Structure 1
Amino acid sequence: MTRTTRLVTLLVAVLLLGSVGTVAVLHAAHRSAMRDQQQANGPTVRAGTVSLRSTAGRPLLVRNLAWGPHRDEITTVPADHPQGPRTASGVKCLRFHAAAGTGICLQSVRGALQDTYRAVVLDAHLHERHHFPAAGIPTRARVSPSGHLVAWTVFVSGDSYAGTNFSTRTAIVDTRTWKMDNNLETFDVIKDGRPYHAADINIWGVTFADDTHFYATLATSRQTYLVRGDFATRTLTTVHRNVECPSLSPDGTRIAYKKRVKGASPDAPWRLYVLDLRTMTESATAERRNIDDQALWADGSTLLYALPGDYGSDLWTVPADGTGTAHRLMTSAVAPAYPR
């Protein structure tokens, strides 16, 4: 190879490398611009102080899904202005709930070979009080009205309630003593008035009535049931069929839940219903889309729940009595809590 050929080859290589570098820089700049545009069009999120005991009106806390440095952090907005700027806490959670100055935050922990998970009990300033290992992928979390009990559910196999090939683990912790029931499947089951035993029992989606009683979903033999739990007797008693992810109303008289409906797609089988516990009458809400969430009572007449959105999930509301229509409350948010 002559000297001239070598110089030409070197020049061509430099030009090619320069072109590749330019393309990479332009691509990165384009992605950054797109990200900036998405953030500009999304909610304003700023770091600040977040408390579960706000003195300036009623707060709404959510896991923020808007792109930016505060994605996945617990943020707060005034409940009467949910589209307003969000204040970010710096605390990241996959699932979250709070009541009476106590929070439960389900987190992932990065590992060298694989991620693990933990349940963190938070105080009113979102500081850690205690944490426990979680056996799988977080899916549900609740705090009792008094703040004395926290519950969480994880998938220990599978990652969706839609099929039948999954297994859950549900735990409840007393924040006064740190005593933990790490698997509610050890409770005695009373089904249709009789003791019931089966190897395929799964329990998930706790909602608390008080510090002794709670409701949850029990699945067995391809059927789901609303069960009433009692800590004093350590029993789970079936109440109603075809109930998943129950949520007890503030006055304790109704359960909001997702129900499998006939004719729906196996991948999108659920609609949002409400059960009157006094009459055992169930009624559909005006939300006709598939609901894969544990709805939250925003007040005595309104339900709040997540649906898929552009950046993960958006929060929607609908009247609990079957009237009205569904309305989007917040974009890029999930896991809401009104820390009463």
Structure 2
Amino acid sequence: MRLGRRHRLLILLAAVLLLTGVAVGATLHAAGRATEKDRARSDGPPVRSGTVTLDAPGRSVFRNMAWGPHRDEISSVADSDPSGPRTASGVRCLRFHTAAGTGVCLQSVRGGLREAYRAVVLDARLREVRRYDLAGIPSRARVSPDGQTVAWTVFVSGDSYAGTAFSTRTSVLDVRSGAIDRNLEDYRVVVDGRPHKAADINVWGVTFADDTRFYATVATGGRTYLALGDRSARTLRTLHGNVECPSLSPDGTRIAYKKRVQGASSDAPWRLYVLDLRTLRETATAERRSVDDQAVWRDARTLVYSLPGNYGSDLWTVPADGSGTASRAMTAALAPAFTGRR
């Protein structure tokens, strides 16, 4: 059937109106999303490009999580004004730590058929010193107090500590010589005073006492332990049960860690505790939410750790002695480190 000229014009007009409506709707939707993102950016901390060093006194360094061109960059802010203007370095890291002017940055390397990762050792000016390919997804990173030894943990299967279906690999590197222990599972493991060999051993979350001695989590047989590691003897000896992601205090006497508690959700099973290494007495902190992080000691009295926030992560503080309350220290930030401190 042939349509008359009038009918054809009406059909054309209806099509134009329909397409116009779709275009306007799409534009308004995009504008709404842009407005939300712009609002988030305007509400977030100010960030500008500049020079960041790892040995500047009175400044904290961290991974910036604020939306915008500097997201994921190592940035710094004055300790006296943590909500003030941030300086972004241009160096992007998924995990980061620094001590004594040495940094370790675990990065994503885009390109090819799949995403790859690498560990980069940085000097105090964020210049690359060494680089290593990683076997999996970055999880934890630490530098020894004198900056001469670094460690990192990656997931080689799974991507969460919450369940049991994961496997990790932890490496320790001597920055000066380049000597590397690629997998701490190759160390001799002693559990409850007895040599222990098992296919299910996992090691993660190194925290250094010095260049030779360190603490880490050892998991085997469905349990986790705090273990003392010795690089010279290549041993890991368990000290205390139900300890994950330890962090040694500046004076070397206490360990902050996340502990699985009964009755908590399987997706959020941890609470933040502190262990006295001399007495093995545990103290629960005032933070009652689940903390899936390796806490950092801001000083001898205060712990800093991350919790989910509007930008992905915020930093919180809580006293290490169980007193006080938790408080937000910095929005849109992750992986903090403090100049001249552990």
TM class by smaller structure:
over 0.9
1:24 aligned onto 2:33:
no
1:85 aligned onto 2:85:
yes
The correspondence of residues 99-118 of structure 1 with structure 2, limited to 5 A, is 99-118=99-118
Q: Given residue 278 of structure 2, which amino acid in structure 1 is its aligned partner? A: R
Q: Which residue of 1 aligns with 2:52?
A: 50
Alpha-carbon distance, 1:199 to partner: 0.8
Alpha-carbon distance, 1:124 to partner: 0.9
User: For 1:14, which of 13, 16, 24 is the aligned residue?
Assistant: 16
Q: Which residue of 1 aligns with 2:233?
A: 233
Aligned identity (percent) is: 66
Q: Given residue 133 of structure 2, which amino acid in structure 1 is its aligned partner? A: P
Q: Given residue 167 of structure 2, which amino acid in structure 1 is its aligned partner? A: S
Rounded Cα–Cα distance in structure 1 between residues aligned with 2:9 and 2:264: 69
Structure 2 counterpart SS, 1:151: strand
1:286 aligned onto 2:286:
yes
Rounded Cα–Cα distance in structure 1 between residues aligned with 2:192 and 2:35: 60
Q: Which residue of 2 aligns with 1:187?
A: 187
Q: Given residue 213 of structure 1, which amino acid in structure 2 is its aligned partner? A: R
Map Cα deviations across residues 139-195 of structure 1 (whole Å, 9 max, x no partner). 111011111111111111111111111100101111111121110000001122221
Q: Which residue of 1 aligns with 2:305?
A: 305
Q: Which residue of 2 aligns with 1:209?
A: 209
Between 1:257-266 and 1:199-208, the stretch displaced more is: 257-266
1:119 aligned onto 2:114:
no
Alpha-carbon distance, 1:313 to partner: 1.1
Alpha-carbon distance, 1:267 to partner: 1.6
Rounded Cα–Cα distance in structure 2 between residues aligned with 1:80 and 1:282: 32
Rounded Cα–Cα distance in structure 2 between residues aligned with 1:271 and 1:163: 16
Alpha-carbon distance, 1:87 to partner: 0.8
Normalised by the size of structure 1, how large is the TM-score? 0.96
Map Cα deviations across residues 81-133 of structure 1 (whole Å, 9 max, x no partner). 11111111111111110111111111111233221111111111112222111
Structure 2 counterpart SS, 1:280: coil
Map Cα deviations across residues 279-336 of structure 1 (whole Å, 9 max, x no partner). 1111111111111100000001100000111121110000111111111101111111
Q: Which residue of 2 aligns with 1:219?
A: 219
Structure 1 counterpart SS, 2:236: strand
Alpha-carbon distance, 1:30 to partner: 1.7
The correspondence of residues 256-335 of structure 1 with structure 2, limited to 5 A, is 256-335=256-335
Alpha-carbon distance, 1:255 to partner: 0.5
Q: Given residue 16 of structure 2, which amino acid in structure 1 is its aligned partner? A: V
Q: Which residue of 2 aligns with 1:244?
A: 244
Rounded Cα–Cα distance in structure 1 between residues aligned with 2:268 and 2:276: 25
Alpha-carbon distance, 1:339 to partner: 3.2
Structure 2 counterpart SS, 1:82: coil
The correspondence of residues 134-149 of structure 1 with structure 2, limited to 5 A, is 134-149=134-149
Between 1:5-14 and 1:234-243, the stretch displaced more is: 5-14
Rounded Cα–Cα distance in structure 2 between residues aligned with 1:88 and 1:307: 22
Alpha-carbon distance, 1:269 to partner: 1.2
1:154 aligned onto 2:161:
no
Q: Given residue 36 of structure 1, which amino acid in structure 2 is its aligned partner? A: D
Q: Which residue of 2 aligns with 1:37?
A: 39
Q: Given residue 236 of structure 2, which amino acid in structure 1 is its aligned partner? A: L
Q: Given residue 181 of structure 1, which amino acid in structure 2 is its aligned partner? A: D
Alpha-carbon distance, 1:7 to partner: 3.2
Structure 2 counterpart SS, 1:290: coil
Map Cα deviations across residues 217-243 of structure 1 (whole Å, 9 max, x no partner). 000001101011111101111111111
Rounded Cα–Cα distance in structure 1 between residues aligned with 2:153 and 2:191: 22
The correspondence of residues 170-185 of structure 1 with structure 2, limited to 5 A, is 170-185=170-185
Q: Given residue 122 of structure 2, which amino acid in structure 1 is its aligned partner? A: L
Rounded Cα–Cα distance in structure 2 between residues aligned with 1:59 and 1:135: 33
Q: Given residue 33 of structure 2, which amino acid in structure 1 is its aligned partner? A: R
Aligned residues: 338
Structure 2 counterpart SS, 1:312: coil
Root-mean-square deviation (CA), in Å? 1.2
Normalised by the size of structure 2, how large is the TM-score? 0.96
Structure 1: give runs of 5+ residues left out of the alignment.
none
Rounded Cα–Cα distance in structure 1 between residues aligned with 2:173 and 2:237: 20
Rounded Cα–Cα distance in structure 1 between residues aligned with 2:284 and 2:36: 40
Q: Given residue 274 of structure 1, which amino acid in structure 2 is its aligned partner? A: V
Structure 2: give runs of 5+ residues left out of the alignment.
none
Q: Which runs of 4+ in 1 moved over 4 A?
A: none
